[in-house]
């Protein structure tokens, strides 16, 4: 074969392989284009040259969404929508049902947790694997209902903050310091009047806490620090203690049988996106429904403790009150 013919054949083969690889990419649909996670996740997935690029899926479709009573939603949604459609060529659909016909999996990104249940219903009905960004719902009742619907329809669903998959927290969860007896986790905790206090932003620090401590919290007491910041103390079975504390930074410490470790650092979005795509490909959630439900029960119990003047509140009572 002549060199020129060989080169043309090679180029044709490479083009065919690239096309095949592209065809094999999962088609992702996004719901709610009013958070910075939308362009960030799309860049990681759609741009092969992006830092932390995650192959195997591309965002190809979206439903705009938006909340008229939350400023951080209605002031940003048009800009993020323009980025998705003009920079990445994402196609907008007028309904979630129509979008679901043209994708393999869905990410609910709406910054407002309240519409997540209504947005999840048609996705679950369509049988599409579903990731819900933080907060999973606007209430504990909504979280429980989403999981109930998903279980009934046998549709894989999970939710998580990006903080869960930070290296330090995952190392402790993997046993690097043995059984954790005590943990403090911090994060910013800005409030949104439409949501329980910890759901809006403190969910990040609470997610780190649960990554390290795991399930088993029995009671919660909410108070304040000397400088007036939120402090929530949880007592786990066996006398273990886990504390969420409001702070300007993401940090914390875990103390276990084999020593202690600094935790809480934010490692970017890529580690979460890796887990989401793996979940879409396998249908196996990296976080169990039971752990996510307990996380949101912990946060709801903190509000109940606040209403009761800082009294200790049983998670079991809160769960039962909300239909769990």
Contact 180, 172 (CB under 8 A): yes
Site of tokens 């209403």: 307
Give the DSSP letter string of 276-291. Answer: HHHHHHH---SS-HHH
pLDDT of residue 1: 54
Domain boundaries, the chain: 3-159, 163-321
- Contacts of residue 58, defined as CB under 8 A and 6 or more positions apart, other chains included, come to 25, 26, 27, 28, 45, 46
Query: In the prediction, which pLDDT does 20 show?
Result: 45
The token pair that represents 85 in the structure block: 């459609």
Contacts of 240 (CB under 8 A, 6+ apart): 179, 180, 181, 182, 213, 216
CATH numeric code, 163-321:
3.30.360.10
Residue 5 has a pLDDT of: 58
3-159 and 163-321, same CATH topology: no
| Contact (Cβ atoms closer than 8 angstroms) between residue 311 and residue 154 | no
Rg (C-alpha) for the chain, rounded Å, is 21
Question: What does the DSSP assignment read for 178-238?
Answer: SSEEEEEEEE-----TTS-HHHHTTHHHHHHHHHHH-S-EEEEEEEE-TTS-EEEEEEEGG
In this prediction, residue 9 carries a pLDDT of 55
Q: Give the global pTM.
A: 0.91
Question: Within the chain, which residues score under 50 in pLDDT?
Answer: 10, 14-22
For 265, the token pair is 């650092």
Are the C-beta atoms of 189 and 249 separated by less than 8 Å? no
pLDDT at 212: 98
Whether domain 3-159 has CATH 3.40.50.620: the reply is no
Closest CA to 143 of 187, 104, 95, 199: 199
The Cα–Cα gap between 51 and 34 comes to 23
Residue 108: predicted pLDDT: 98
Q: What is the pLDDT of residue 90?
A: 98
Between helix 140-153 and helix 116-125 the angle, nearest 10°, is 0
């Amino acid at each position: 074969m002549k060199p020129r013919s060989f080169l043309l054949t090679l180029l044709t083969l490479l083009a065919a392989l690239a096309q095949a690889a592209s065809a094999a990419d999962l088609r992702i649909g996004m719901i709610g284009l009013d958070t910075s996670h939308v362009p960030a996740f799309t860049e990681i997935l759609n741009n092969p040259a992006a830092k932390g690029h995650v192959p195997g899926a591309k965002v190809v479709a979206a439903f705009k969404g938006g909340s008229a009573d939350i400023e951080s939603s209605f002031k940003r949604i048009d800009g993020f929508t323009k980025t998705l459609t003009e920079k990445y060529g994402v196609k907008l659909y007028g309904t979630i049902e129509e979008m679901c016909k043209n994708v393999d999996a869905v990410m609910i990104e709406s910054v407002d947790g309240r519409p997540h249940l209504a947005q999840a219903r048609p996705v679950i009905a369509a049988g599409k694997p579903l990731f819900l960004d933080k907060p999973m719902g606007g209430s504990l009742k909504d979280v429980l209902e989403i999981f109930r619907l998903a279980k009934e329809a046998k549709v894989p669903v999970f939710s998580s903050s990006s903080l869960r998959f930070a290296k330090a927290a995952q190392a402790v969860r993997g046993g690097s310091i043995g059984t954790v007896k005590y943990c403090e986790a911090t994060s910013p905790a800005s409030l949104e009047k439409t949501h329980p206090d910890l759901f809006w932003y403190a969910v990040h620090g609470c997610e780190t806490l649960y990554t390290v401590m795991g399930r088993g919290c029995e009671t919660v007491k909410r108070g304040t620090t000397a400088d007036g910041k939120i402090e929530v103390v949880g007592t786990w079975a066996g006398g273990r203690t886990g504390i969420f504390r409001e702070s300007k930074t993401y940090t914390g410490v875990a103390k276990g049988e084999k020593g202690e470790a600094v935790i809480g650092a934010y490692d970017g979005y890529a580690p979460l996106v890796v887990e989401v795509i793996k979940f879409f490909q396998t249908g196996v959630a990296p976080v169990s429904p039971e752990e996510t439900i307990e996380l949101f029960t912990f946060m709801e119990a903190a509000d109940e403790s606040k209403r009761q003047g800082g009294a200790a509140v049983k998670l079991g009572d809160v769960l039962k009150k909300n239909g769990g």
